[in-house]
């Protein structure tokens, strides 16, 4: 197949490109040339900013298009117009953030979605409107590419080259041992997906439609961290659970402490999506400890909690307790 990947050189897109190439397809990458532009010399590289001018797509025809970088419905419209019906089957990477706050665990792909309120055109993507804009993107995709599009809704995507260091942080922090600050509610439902597993599955789904959660089975955050501790932590490692209110009061957020939901009650069940549909369609997920093992020596983003800041928070928590 001739496959166009919009993005394709950074994290999720990078793993997808590797998987699609490994499956023997001809790959064209549409990207700005700013991140890992020297990767994948065997692919055709079309350099363009999708928010400006997509004329580089003129004259190209594809059997499938996979959109990894769509965040605003206007981007879906401009891509469809530039392809002019030559894009083939369309896949859109969305998010479980598209759902209205779930009321319990095990919600399926038929659960209610968010409704976007307020203006759309020219609106910047923020944490607050990210999910509802993804919903609009999904709707626009069906309008312009047809009802048989493939919609992929992951939760936390982890693995090599994750720019947010979500699983990387916990693997390395637990491997250091000592007193480890664990954030929020130990029972918080948590799901991840290794970007490599998602990519392999998406490559196998080219040309197929539907809506799917690409997630591992849900587990309490405590179980996930305890499993990593058993695998990587030295003897004497202690998890100290610090509650949401205290962390928020002291300026912490999920950018510093990955997999923590910032104590937002409405999002409590977001990490409890039902993976049955994707598993039945062939999704295979590796153990989280296997994903983590590949992340023990990678560099971490500066945004993550530093040892000094962790010590300050733990001392303040001890004094308050």
Say if residue 115 is in the same domain as residue 184. no
Residue 271 lies in a domain: no
Say if residue 13 is in the same domain as residue 127. yes
Say if residue 55 is in the same domain as residue 71. yes
Say if residue 18 is in the same domain as residue 97. yes
Give the angle subtended at the CA of 130 by the CAs of 128 and 131, to the nearest 5°.
Answer: 100
154-200 residue pLDDT tens: 999 999 999 999 999 999 999 999 999 999 999 999 999 999 999 99
Say if residue 122 is in the same domain as residue 184. no
Say if residue 177 is in the same domain as residue 247. yes
Residue 183 lies in a domain: yes
Residue 282 lies in a domain: no
CA atoms within 13 A on the CB side of 215: 29
Residue 273 lies in a domain: no
Residue 210 lies in a domain: yes
List of the chain residues with pLDDT < 70:
321
pLDDT at 13: 97
In angstroms, the CA 11 to CA 193 distance is 13
Residue 6 lies in a domain: yes
CA distances from 191 to 34, 141, 155, 214, 288 (A): 31, 26, 6, 10, 10
CA 153 from centroid of its chain's CA atoms: 8
pLDDT at 265: 82
- Tally of domains in the chain: 2
Burial class (CB in 10 A: 0-12, 13-18, 19+), 177: middle
In angstroms, the CA 301 to CA 188 distance is 24
Q: Are 190 and 224 in contact (CB under 8 A)?
A: yes
User: CB 247: neighbour CB atoms within 10 A?
Assistant: 22
Task: Identify the domain containing residue 95 by its residue range.
Answer: 2-157+195-214
Residue 274 lies in a domain: no
Encoding tokens for residue 305?
Answer: 């909690």
CA atoms within 13 A on the CB side of 146: 15
pLDDT at 122: 85
Say if residue 107 is in the same domain as residue 92. yes
**97, 98, 103, 106: CA torsion to nearest 10:** -80
Is the overall model pTM greater than 0.85, yes or no?
A: yes
């Amino acid at each position: 197949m001739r496959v166009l990947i919009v993005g394709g050189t950074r994290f999720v897109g990078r793993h997808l490109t590797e998987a699609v190439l490994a499956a023997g397809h001809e790959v064209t990458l549409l990207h700005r040339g700013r991140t890992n532009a020297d990767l994948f010399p065997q692919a055709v590289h079309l350099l363009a900013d999708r928010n400006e001018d997509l004329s580089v797509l003129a004259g190209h025809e594809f059997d499938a298009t996979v959109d990894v970088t769509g965040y605003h419905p206007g981007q879906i419209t401009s891509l469809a117009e530039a392809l002019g019906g030559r894009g083939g089957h369309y896949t859109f990477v969305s998010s479980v953030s598209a759902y209205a706050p779930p009321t319990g665990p095990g919600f399926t792909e038929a659960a209610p979605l968010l409704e976007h309120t307020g203006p759309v055109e020219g609106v910047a993507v923020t944490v607050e409107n990210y999910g509802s804009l993804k919903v609009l993107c999904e709707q626009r995709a069906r309008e312009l590419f047809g009802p048989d599009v493939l919609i992929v809704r992951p939760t936390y995507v982890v693995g090599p080259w994750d720019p947010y260091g979500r699983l990387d942080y916990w693997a390395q922090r637990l491997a250091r041992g000592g007193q480890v600050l664990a954030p929020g509610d130990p029972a918080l439902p948590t799901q991840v997906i290794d970007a490599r597993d998602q990519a392999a599955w998406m490559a196998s789904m080219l040309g197929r439609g539907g809506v799917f959660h690409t997630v591992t089975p849900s587990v309490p955050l405590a179980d996930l961290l305890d499993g990593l501790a058993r695998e990587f932590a030295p003897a004497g490692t202690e998890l100290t659970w610090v509650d949401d209110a205290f962390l928020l009061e002291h300026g912490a957020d999920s950018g510093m402490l990955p997999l923590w939901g910032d104590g937002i009650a409405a999002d409590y069940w977001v990490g409890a999506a039902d993976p049955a549909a994707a598993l039945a369609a062939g999704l295979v997920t590796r153990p989280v400890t296997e994903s983590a093992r590949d992340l023990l020596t990678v560099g971490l983003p500066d945004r993550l909690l530093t040892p000094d800041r962790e010590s300050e928070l733990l001392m303040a928590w001890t004094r308050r307790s």
